């Protein structure tokens, strides 16, 4: 039974992405959302809505989806790597660029030099771009500070972004992104610094929800990743990893063995790794932006992941070096074009499966009773339209915890 303060959102085409609906995208016709404060309390047939209920919103047959969830970004950083990209396109080698101080450590320098306010201003613009495409939850990693002070600085900026925006932020500690200059050649000692100081101190300050590692020939070894995961496990901290991006070190099996939240990139994932994932709740996160920007050739094993029913998510991996795209819609489009996902798989990848990657599968990513009232309203009829045509932004309205954020003045809409 309704309360006078309940809000009824009616006449929408609901793409619920819900496990409770059998139709593609969980589409359900002639139903309304009943919102009480920050939550959806029911998805109810239109003909059961009392006509005289005081608070009703007419969605005028627009498409409604869960708010999009970008479950993998490096959104907080200083500087940019545009010139480095131009050098690469002019034939300068990676090695030469990194010998000239380019690569991740160029962004580390710029991030260490940037004040918290500068980082906040820069990151706010990037977050705004995601929100304007209907994103309501964003994961944000550290990993450009690479010492206690600057890793904390990054995570506090992420925290401030959550305070000053109608958005849900999931912060991740990625101190194990690369070895900082002062630890060059001493990666093991740097891993010890993370395990003994950075991890426990920032965990005590509740500045992150999970721990991430770049497990790669140019990153940290499987043994170093395991040492980090063991330290996280001792503190009860969930883990995830950048795994099998350029080679297969067995990283996904390690994440699965710790029942980790997600394994990300996974272009070089093999059947053994997939079998391990199939026995854990770990989500396989596809990052087509990096694949595209690095002109990689090895696609992730999407068909086999589907065969083993491993949930796949799609994320922007927004970062200045390998995926400088603040657009989750572009990532969805690339996941279909480059990796062969169907539009429905791409949509599940930024809603239900992305929520699971952030340990929010019971509260986010579906239009169903008990879920947060985070949803996006589109000037469109079918979910595929949102992925198919980029450039024009069909977002009509973004609703976060039941509150509409400013409507985009769709001046051209008839």
Ligand X SMILES: O=C(O)CC[C@@H]1NC(=O)NC1=O
Q: Applying CB under 5 A, which residues contact Fe ion?
A: 317
Whichever of 219 and 273 has its CB closer to ligand X, that residue is 219
CB of 299 to ligand X, least distance (A): 16
**Token reading at 71:** 């479950």
**Residue 322 partner contact from Fe ion, ligand X, none using kind-dependent CB cut-offs of 5 to 8 Å:** ligand X
Closest-CB residue for ligand X?
321
Long-range pairs for 304-311 at CB < 8 Å and ≥24 separation?
Answer: 304/271, 304/274, 305/269, 305/274, 305/277, 306/345, 308/274, 308/275, 308/277, 308/278, 309/278, 310/274, 310/277, 310/278, 310/282, 310/283, 310/284, 311/283, 311/284, 311/348, 311/352, 311/353, 311/356
Contact in structure between 215 and 251 (CB atoms under 8 Å): yes
Instruction: Tell me how far, at minimum, the Cβ of 317 lies from Fe ion, in Å.
Output: 4
Nearer to Fe ion, 317 or 345 (CB): 317
Of the two residues 176 and 277, which places its CB atom closer to ligand X in the complex? 176
Task: Tell me whether residue 219 or residue 383 sits nearer to Fe ion (CB atom).
Answer: 219
Report the alpha-carbon distance of residue 160 to residue 203 in Å, rounded.
Answer: 17
For residue 104, the minimal CB distance to ligand X (Å) is 4
Could you give the CA distance from residue 250 to residue 334 in angstroms, rounded to a whole number? 26
320: partner contacted, choices Fe ion, ligand X, none (Cβ within 5-8 A by kind)? ligand X
Which of ligand X, Fe ion, none is residue 245 near (CB under 5 to 8 Å by kind)? Answer: ligand X
Distance of closest approach, residue 322 Cβ to ligand X, in angstroms: 4
Residues in the site for ligand X, rule: CB under 6 A? 104, 107, 177, 214, 242, 245, 290, 319-322
CB of 74 to ligand X, least distance (A): 6
3-state secondary structure labels for all residues of 371-387: CECCEEEECCCCHHHHH
Least distance from C-beta 126 to Fe ion, angstroms? 14
The residue among 6 and 317 lying less far from Fe ion, judged by its C-beta, is: 317
Q: Give me 350's structure tokens.
A: 């930024």
| 240 Cβ contact list (under 8 Å, min separation 6) | 172, 210, 211, 212, 255, 260, 261, 262, 263, 264, 357
**Residue 214 binds: one of ligand X, Fe ion, none (C-beta under 5 to 8 A by kind):** ligand X
Nearer to ligand X, 12 or 260 (CB): 260
Q: Rounded to the nearest 10 degrees, how much is the dihedral formed by the CA atoms of 242, 245, 249, 255?
A: 30
- Least distance to ligand X from the beta carbon of 259, Å? 22
Closest to Fe ion by CB, 244 or 317: 317
C-alpha to C-alpha distance for 217 and 268, rounded to whole angstroms: 13
Residue nearest to Fe ion (CB): 317
Tokens (6 digits) for 221 = 């070894």
């Amino acid at each position: 039974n309704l309360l006078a303060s309940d809000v009824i959102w009616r006449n929408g085409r609901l793409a619920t992405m819900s496990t409770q609906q059998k139709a593609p995208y969980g589409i359900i016709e002639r139903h309304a959302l009943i919102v009480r404060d920050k939550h959806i309390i029911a998805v109810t047939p239109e003909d059961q809505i009392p006509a005289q209920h005081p608070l009703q919103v007419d969605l005028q047959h627009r498409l409604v989806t869960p708010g999009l969830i970008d479950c993998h970004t490096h959104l907080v950083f200083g500087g940019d790597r545009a010139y480095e990209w131009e050098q690469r396109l002019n034939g300068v080698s990676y090695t030469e660029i990194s010998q000239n101080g380019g690569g991740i450590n160029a962004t580390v320098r710029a991030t260490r030099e940037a004040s918290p306010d500068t980082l906040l201003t820069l990151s706010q613009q990037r977050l705004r771009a995601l929100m304007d495409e209907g994103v309501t939850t964003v994961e944000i990693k550290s990993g450009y500070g690479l010492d206690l002070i600057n890793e904390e600085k990054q995570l506090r900026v992420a925290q401030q972004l959550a305070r000053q925006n109608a958005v849900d932020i999931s912060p991740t500690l990625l101190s194990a992104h690369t070895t900082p200059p002062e630890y060059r050649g001493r990666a093991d000692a740097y891993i010890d610094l993370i395990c003994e100081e950075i991890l426990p101190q920032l965990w005590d300050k509740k500045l992150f929800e999970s721990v991430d590692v770049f497990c790669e020939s140019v990153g940290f070894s499987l043994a170093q990743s395991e040492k980090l995961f063991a330290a996280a496990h001792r503190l009860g901290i969930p883990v995830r990893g950048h795994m099998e991006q350029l080679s297969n070190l067995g990283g996904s099996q390690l994440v699965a063995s710790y029942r980790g939240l997600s394994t990300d990139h996974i272009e070089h994932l093999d059947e053994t790794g997939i079998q391990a994932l199939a026995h854990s709740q770990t989500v396989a996160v596809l990052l087509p932006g990096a694949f595209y920007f690095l002109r990689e050739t090895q696609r992730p094993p999407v068909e086999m992941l589907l065969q083993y029913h491993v949930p796949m998510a799609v994320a922007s991996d927004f970062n200045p070096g390998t995926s400088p795209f603040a657009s989750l819609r572009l990532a969805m489009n690339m996941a279909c074009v480059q990796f062969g996902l169907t539009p429905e798989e791409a949509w599940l990848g930024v809603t239900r499966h992305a929520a699971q990657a952030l340990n929010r599968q019971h509260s986010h990513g579906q239009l169903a009773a008990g879920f947060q009232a985070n949803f996006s309203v589109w000037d469109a009829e079918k979910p595929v339209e949102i992925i198919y045509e980029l450039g024009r932004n069909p977002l009509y309205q973004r609703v976060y915890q039941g509150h509409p954020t400013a409507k985009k003045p769709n001046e051209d809409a008839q």
